[in-house]
Every structure is written in structure tokens, then in C-alpha cells.
A and B are shown apart, each in its own frame.
Chain A
């Protein structure tokens, strides 16, 4: 049955399985059958399977975006010193213009393009006669004006249909101008969600940019993979690692730099924060260059400490381990002290979490730090391995909708493959759960909680009415829907223009904001005084 949710609503006769069945009943038969597989009532006593990464039901009101958003919007767009040209009509480029809060700073060479939006702004005649000519001209103009070090090209829906060959354009223009130009076939209709775009972006970055400059790096070095520096998260992570004596060589791709990616393969180890968006890169870098990866979670006080300890175990250096423990001790104490008063006001409250492909898991650790419980969680576009752990990878079947997303054939580099650990040691670290592995979200969720993949508007509204969470964490499209129901909503994509929420300082910021949201006086005014008290009273006075 329903341990956690039952605790929340112990006064009500209530069965979570019934709630799920009631949701499903509303749908047309075929849709009901499909959606049922995307909803799991957690039962830790048995291995559970969830359906994920399959096509969206048309008309269901999904939260999902597209492949273009996953490629340009998420992975490539944050690279600060490249010009990212969107080949398509204006919308795609416009909507991905500074709307995601992947912060950055210019490096010494000055190239910095985060504030800009570049597009070929395709018109009707480009659709009819093809847009390659305009794309070439746009690249030439970008080069004339800015002299960038590198350019990316991003395809949008019509580009694939009209047959513009952006890869040939990239190759030829790269030769003409003498700079790297990389094309991404991330048409919006590819795959079933943003996820396809991540994969395509990983492939392009890996094939054309990563590992071009063999420049030795000193000391303990890591790359932060799948960390997009939303609200400055990457900088807080960097601050902590720096204190420990570990240098961040590059971040994929918050505040990311083309120059830094060219030598990213020289780092000792890759840290994977967002597994979904960057696990391809982690795997390919390990295969080609011998860099192992560690799944980390820098969201939450205890989670951050746990991640740092994984690093200590990996590097096996007593001095480093000692320094890491010292940092943990100091930072935890400061964070604990700051969080304690908020925890008093938040203890026992419940949350729903619906975020893209990783945060719905990561933030459960942070809510635990605050004494709160996550009773429903789900991803927009994660795959089964993000839910169930990487052990299921061999059993995942790629369906027809995702089959056309290319898998790169990666081999160890004959000269530059450099094992960071001997194979026996690596195997042991893997068994200890330290390298090359991810357990997924579901194992962290208690009995009777709900996991919902690709949640629809209807399901969200229904579950809110039934389970009455104290806060719902989701995105901008849901925020005001939730709040109109009188329930506070925290955006966990853009942090409501705040942050950082990562690391120790981020955890304190988060605690403060969750308290602000849940305990704000404004919610109590939602009912007018004359609505709250029975009408009959007024009538009596009048008489």
C-alpha cells in the first residue's frame, strides 16, 4: 500500500492504486492502456519497470519540448565563445534566446555570444528553393562581423524536410573560413522529446571539438559533465571543488568554452551531474581516452558530501582525502546552521517533482535535508535507465521513433588512450558504486510513492487534488496552473530567476526560498473574507 502518502493523509480512507486507476479511466481506451505503463506505484520489494522515452500522446497536453531544444537550447547553446546559428524560421532561435539561465562569463579572448540570437530567418522562398545558399551567406556574414573561433549550425523542423544538407555546408564553409563549423541535425520532430537533441549534441561535440589539443593539465582535474550553470550552480560546485584542491578543467556546458573542450580529454575523471543529457559523452570519452566517470549529485547538503567522498575514494590520496573531509566538515556545519530554522517550518511537508531528465531525482536529496518528503516524481523525457538504473540498459529496446538518432562508433584512440586506473581497480570502484554507474531515481523513492513519466496536465491536476502536496516543483508552463490552485510552485528549471541551488550554499538558498513560498502570507488571501464565512450570516444581519 501507501506508506508515505498514507502518512500524509492518514485521516482519509485512501488507496493510491485507486487514484491511479481513476486517472486512467478518464482517457480513451488506447490512451489509457499506454499511460498506465508510465505510472508506477513504488513497491521496493520487487524490481519495477516503467515505460519511458516513447512518443507523446497527441492532444494530452504534455510538458515536453523538442529535439532542437535539447540540442541547441540545452547542450550547445550555453557554450559562450561560439556563434550558434539556427537554420530555420525565426521562432526556434528566438525562443531559445536567453530563456534558459545558463550563465557564463567572457574569457580573456573576449569572444562571448550568450546575449545574442543568430538565425537564418528562413522565408517562404527558402522553403521552396532551399536554404543552403542563405545559410552559407549567414555564416560568411557572421564571420565578417565577429571573426568567431567556431560556429555551430542547428537544424529546425523544415530543414530536414526540404533536404538542406547542413553538414556539407559546414564542411565547406569550415574549409573556406578556416574555423571549426559543426552542424547538428536536431530537427524538432526527431526522437520523441528533448532527449534526442542531447544525444545529437553529444555526438557533434565529441566528434568535432573534444580532444583536439593535447595540453597537459596539472594536479587533480575533473570535467563537470551535464552541469549547465543554471543560476550559477556550476560556480558553486567549482568553489567547493577548488577548496578541496580539485580543478575543473571544463564544464559541459554551463559557462562552457570551445577552447576548454579541445583539451577536456586531458582531465583525470568526468563528473556526471545530469546523467540523461551527457551520459553519451561520458561513455565516449571513457572509450576513446580512458577517462572514467563518476555519477555525482551536488544538489543537497548530504548529497554533495557523498559526491565529494566518491572523489576521495577515486583519487586515493590521503592528503586530498583529508582536505575533502575538512571541507565537508566546515561546509556542512555552516549549511546545517543556516538551514535549521527553515527545517523547523518545513518538516513533514510534501512535494511533487516534475522536471526534465534529472532534477526530479536530485532534488529529492535536498528536500530530505529540509525534512520534506517527495511523494510524486517524474521526468519529462528521461529513459528507463534514469528511472531504474543503468543495469537495465541491455534490456531497453530502441523503438521506431528513436531509431534514427545516430550512435557513434567509438574506438580507443591508439595514441591517446590513457587508462586512469588499472582495470581491476576500476572494476572494484564500479562494484562499490563509485565509477561508471547510476542507480536511477526509483530506488530512492519510498513505498507507496508515485512515479509518473511524461505527466499530462490532467494527471497533474488530478494528483494535486487527490494528494494535496504542500509544494509542486515543475516548470514555467505549470507554475501558474499550480499556483491558481492555491498551491505554491517552485520552478526547478529556471529556479524562479534565483539560485544557485547546488552545493552547500545553494542548499541554504533553496531552504530559504521553499520556506518563503510555503509560508508566505499572500496565500491566505485567496478567499475573500465574505466568501470564507457563510453567506447566511450576512443575510441575518441585513434582516
Chain B
């Protein structure tokens, strides 16, 4: 497995090997699915759209609907305006969404298609029916990563809809970040239990975890509603979870409608969840019910029960920056040593923040933003770890180096059911604790000689 990877590290400036990221449009597509009655649309050649739909399907085992402008060589030379107009006409007539959310690809971005003008013209020419919406964002694949694409589409929801209309002063906006439908559901549960009125956007719960009831629904019941997106401009405050995925929308809301905002880490792990709950208390003055405090206490109880198995264990973590930052902090709080930490998404903040988190715990951590799994594997060859945490692609390294492995983040292509359980909040923390301990103890059981094989652990 991965036999061609040498231990010796050769510094690369040009060749990316086994990336820890993918490109913008898939993040935008995912975010668009978090709008009710929305058909995501990819303005480029159709290969992108096929890849993005396939990839999300492999992760969720759910239908992922999206349309494409299907550029040909001609449109690549003369621009894709005609393709978009044809597409909108067909989409509204055949598929009847309430809203089409357009994102771009490296093709239309390199050409320089002017989407605002194209959409305006389509509206004027009656291609977009009355009462229907077309929004867009620019998602050049050669900038940032899929997380950037998610952030851009989330900001576009604000740009097109947010109005300061004095609707509801005691509502808060929550931008949940590039997390699972189960995570969005869990965030809503926590906020709801505190008796706080909220608008969560985007919201893919009840879209990407829809039930099997022997009927296909092109637009499932979930997704943030357009009237709610309009009201975000009148909310009291925006809590944006995960700097990389959610800050963009929050700052735009502030600029457009003077809604102040707070950027928090994704509430993964005990401390980040605490900060999320504290922020909710602070901005609303509401106290969490005892049930939430109990839930938290259960997490701490599990942590103290498990500590002997976690203490001092070396861990390698990779994935998307918001997830990895919070996970690294959680590992530190479990007494573990995150020694190799990689995200494929560029951004200096990541390295700064991780170094801050592991300070005093790991002396010379290997930290890299805009890194890849080839480098991570080489680091592991040079300094082995006890646990690897990351998306499905990590399984090759885990097998090559025989490391216990916990699947975490996006994408998880080789297991089914993961997307129904949160990793955020106290419940998510419990689940992560169980998964990590299972991985470590399965290994201990596998490796123990018969005489040392334990019944009780």
C-alpha cells in the first residue's frame, strides 16, 4: 500500500500529491442544497457537475440534484451566456425550482462570464418566471478549496436576500459551517432547547438525510426558506461557526445590514461547544436548561473514564481547517499529542491557530495549511503516531502504516450511516470519544497475546 512513498522528504513546489482538499464548486453545490426548493446549477462544462454530484452522493448515499450549462468548445470561446439562458429556460419549465443557485467553474471564470449581467438579462427577457429566483456566486476552482466555495455560496445567500426590514429583533442568525446535516440538526436542537429564535443557513438537514418512503422528491422538505434568508438582515447578531466556511457571510451581513457578528470555532469537542453555549448566553441572556448542562457533564464523565487510554497518545489529523482546528483542541484536552496536522485549504490563520492550541503539549508540531496527504504520510513515516483522524483517503495511510483510524470530516466514502450522527455539540463529542476509543481498543485487542487478552477494559 502506497509503496512508492519514500520516507525521505523532498520539498515540492509544484507537484501536488494526494490532496487534502478539493475544488470550490462542490462546496457551493452543497451549500445550495441547504436552501429550500433550490436547484444548484454549475456554470461550466458538464464534467464538473457530474463529478460534484457523484462525490456528494458517495458521501451521503443520497440523491444530489444539480444542473449544468454543459459548455462546448464554442461556448468556451464565445462565452457561456447562451448556455445559461437555455439552461434556465429548461430548468424552470421542466424542474420548476423556486430558486436556482448558480456557481461557476475554472472554465467560466477563466473566460470571464459576467453572471450578474446574464442573470439580469434573463430576468428582463422573461426567462426567469415571476416569483422565481436566480442567485449566483463566483467559485473559481484555482482559488482556495471546497470550503471557500461553501463560504462563497453562503455569502451569496446574504447578498441576494438579506434585508434590514425590522422583522424580528430577538432572532439570531447561525451560520453552521461546512458540516453535516446531522450537525446542523444538532446545532438547531441546542439553540432551540435554549429557547432562542434563530435562522440557520444553509441548512441541509431534511435534504441530505431524507427518509425512504418509496417516493422521490426533487426538492425535499428541508432547506432554509427564502423569507428566512430575507429576515437575516434584521437579526440581532450572527454567530458564524468556523472561520473558513462562515465568516464571509457574517461580515457581508454586517456590511449590508449592520448585523453584528461573532466568529466561533466549530463546536466540536468540549471547550469549543462550551464557547458556543456561552456565546448563546451572552448574546441572548438566556440560560441553558439543565438538560444541556447534564449532557456536558456526561461528556466530561466519559473523558475521565477514558483518560488512561488516551493519555500521551500521538495523533495525526487532517481535513478541512475549521474541523481540524476544533478537533486538535479536543485532542489536547483529552491529554493526547496532535503531532502532525494538515489541511489542504490555504490560509495562514490555520497554522497560527494550531500552533497556539498545541503549545506546551507538542514541542515541534508538524503543521501545514495547503499541505497534502503525501507529506502527512512522510511525516508519519518519520515520526509514527498511535491514531490517525481524517476523511476516507486516510485509510490508505492507516493500512500502509498499520495505524488505528477514525473517519472524520468530508468525505467519508467507504462507510454508511455516518452522516446521520453529529460530531458537533456535546452529543457529537460523545460520539467522537467512543469512535476514538473503539479504534484504539480494537487495535489493543487485535495485538494482545492470548495471555494478555482482557475481558474488561
Where the two chains meet, the residues of A that have a C-beta atom closer than 8 Å to any C-beta of B are 26-28, 31, 55-69, 85, 88-97, 99, 106, 110-113, 115-124, 126-127, 134-138, 140-142, 144-146, 156-158, 160-162, 187-192, 400-401, 404, 456-458, 461, 475-477, 479-486, 526-528
10 additional A-B residue pairs with CB within 8 Å, beyond A62-B50, A90-B16: A56-B70, A58-B67, A58-B84, A59-B41, A91-B23, A124-B140, A137-B14, A188-B71, A189-B72, A484-B215
Check if B168 is an interface residue, CB within 8 A of chain A: no
Interface contacts (Cβ under 8 Å), in number, total 259
What are 19 A-B contacts defined by CB distance under 8 Å? A26-B93, A58-B90, A59-B91, A62-B68, A66-B47, A89-B142, A90-B21, A91-B51, A111-B4, A124-B143, A127-B140, A127-B142, A145-B15, A188-B45, A189-B76, A190-B73, A482-B216, A484-B210, A527-B213
- 8 closest pairs, A vs B, by CB? A66-B47, A59-B87, A91-B23, A486-B214, A137-B14, A58-B87, A121-B16, A526-B214
| Binary A-proximity of B93-128 (CB < 8 A = 1, otherwise 0) | 111000000000111011100000000000000000
Contact call A161/B107, Cβ cutoff below 8 A:
yes
Closest to A137 in B: B14
Q: How far is the CB of B301 from chain A (nearest CB, A)?
A: 36
Chain A residues with Cβ below 8 Å from B13 are 137, 141
Q: How far is the CB of B144 from chain A (nearest CB, A)?
A: 10
Chain A residues with Cβ below 8 Å from B140 are 89, 124, 127
Check if B19 is an interface residue, CB within 8 A of chain A: yes
Considering the chains assembled together, what is the distance between the CA atoms of A162 and B106 in angstroms? Answer: 11
Which of B12, B73, B110 is in CB contact (< 8 Å) with A401? B73
Chain A residues with Cβ below 8 Å from B63 are 480-481, 484
Chain B residues with Cβ below 8 Å from A191 are 73
Chain B residues with Cβ below 8 Å from A528 are 213
Considering the chains assembled together, what is the distance between the CA atoms of A404 and B19 in angstroms? Answer: 32
Check if B308 is an interface residue, CB within 8 A of chain A: no
Contact call B74/A90, Cβ cutoff below 8 A:
no
Which of A118, A136, A476 is in CB contact (< 8 Å) with B58? A476
Chain A residues with Cβ below 8 Å from B95 are 61, 457-458
Closest to A127 in B: B142
Considering the chains assembled together, what is the distance between the CA atoms of A456 and B218 in angstroms? Answer: 14
Check if B340 is an interface residue, CB within 8 A of chain A: no
Which of B22, B68, B393 is in CB contact (< 8 Å) with A91? B22
Considering the chains assembled together, what is the distance between the CA atoms of A158 and B70 in angstroms? Answer: 15
Check if B453 is an interface residue, CB within 8 A of chain A: no
Q: Please count how many residues in chain B sit with their CB below 8 Å of the partner chain's CB atoms.
A: 82
Which of B17, B107, B214 is in CB contact (< 8 Å) with A189? B107
| Binary A-proximity of B209-224 (CB < 8 A = 1, otherwise 0) | 0101111110000000
> Which one of A85, A116, A160, A401 has the greatest number of beta carbons of chain B within 10 Å?
A116
Check if B246 is an interface residue, CB within 8 A of chain A: no
Closest to A461 in B: B216
Which of A27, A65, A89, A97 is in CB contact (< 8 Å) with B46? A65
Chain A residues with Cβ below 8 Å from B111 are 161
Contact call B55/A57, Cβ cutoff below 8 A:
no
Chain A residues with Cβ below 8 Å from B145 are 90
Check if B26 is an interface residue, CB within 8 A of chain A: yes
Check if B151 is an interface residue, CB within 8 A of chain A: no
Contact call B4/A121, Cβ cutoff below 8 A:
no
Chain B residues with Cβ below 8 Å from A485 are 214-216
Which of B4, B67, B68 is in CB contact (< 8 Å) with A112? B4
Which of A56, A61, A124, A135 is in CB contact (< 8 Å) with B65? A61
> Which one of A58, A126, A141 has the greatest number of beta carbons of chain B within 10 Å?
A58
Chain A residues with Cβ below 8 Å from B93 are 26-28
Check if B75 is an interface residue, CB within 8 A of chain A: yes
Chain A residues with Cβ below 8 Å from B91 are 59
Known: A56-B46, A58-B90. A120 touches B67 (CB 8 A): no
